[in-house]
Amino acid sequence: MRPSGNPVFCALDTTDTARAVTLARSLKGTVGGLKVGMEFFNANGPDGFRQVAEAGLPVFLDLKLHDIPNTVAGGIRAVLPLKPAIVNVHAAGGPAMMRAAADAAAEAGDSRPLVIAVTVLTSMDEGDLAATGISGTPRDQVLRLASLARESGLDGVVCSAHEIEPLRAELGPDFKLIVPGIRPAGADVADQKRIMTPEQACALGADILVIGRPITGAEDPRRAAEDISASLAPALG
């Protein structure tokens, strides 16, 4: 199932299948999709994914694959029967690896998931990059890796909201921008260093806003999701 018109994807950051399924069911109609990551998938596997997907929302399977091309292609093929809406790989794996991922996803035909690349994690800043031997700003590295991802046949990238404008200018309107590190005004920033409000990110042109704790940690997650989606109406026109 491909993403819908609502750009909000709720990150179900839990290893508890019952909790994830309850959230998925309660959020239907208030968000455009769900995200499950390696924590959940490593704990619960394909069966856990299927239970979440039964809620009827598109699911972004956030595994951040990063290995040699054949292994990543095999990893993509292994999850195609689950029919995720989006899968992702690390752009740092290089062009051959990204092309292998795109080719493997294409084997799903009409149910092919979007394949996107992780550029620079939103928990990283310039100092963190320098510690790994990469000079320049996060924006420099994001633009470099995003261009490589497009050249390698991927559909888009995961990026910080602060990179939306330069990415749009460089890569055009059709390249998908999936943006984590989204926090409503006044929310706890937690471990994110490059954040923005949903309204700001949407107005700049983000395709998908990944929002976790402001929804899942709320006393009433459905109400929190409704409020965030409602706040986006002016930006969405």
Q: Write out the catalytic residue numbers.
A: 64
Question: Whole-angstrom distance between the N-terminal and C-terminal Cα of the chain?
Answer: 24
Residues in the chain: 237
Sign for the pseudo-dihedral over CA of 113, 184, 49, 66: positive
Give the number of other Cβ atoms within 10 Å of residue 109's Cβ.
7
Token pair, residue 2, equals 């491909």
